[in-house]
Amino acid sequence: MATDSPGSARKVVVHLRATGDAPILKQAKFKISGTDKFAKVIEFLRRQLHRETLFVYVNSAFSPNPDELVIDLYNNFGFDDSYSNLSIMGLN
């Protein structure tokens, strides 16, 4: 987890893991602003995988509402502050 300055938006490291027959991404970890909605993660995956239909889960447990803020998901379901803060899986 990183912050650029006290007034800047908090960044969250997202780790994407493919399951099933989903293709593996070249870059599985990236930083996203905590103020971004989960829908931005879904759209990113759609562009990267060239697929319209995706099933995206947090911590292999549930699929959040696309309107959820990434920082809220991290604060409630994130783990291991020094590494992959938010585990998101993409299935096609």
Distance CA(51)–CA(34), nearest Å, equals 25
pLDDT tens, residue by residue, 19-66: 888 888 899 999 999 999 999 999 999 999 998 888 898 888 899 999
pLDDT exceeds 60 at position 14: yes
Highest mean pLDDT, choosing among 20-24, 66-70, 81-85, 86-90: 66-70
CA pair distance 49, 54, nearest whole angstrom = 9
CATH number at 11-91: 3.10.20.90
pTM score, two decimals? 0.73
Q: What confidence tier does 2 reach under pLDDT thresholds 50, 70, 90? A: very low
Domain ranges within the chain, ordered by starting residue: 11-91
Q: What is the pLDDT of residue 20?
A: 83
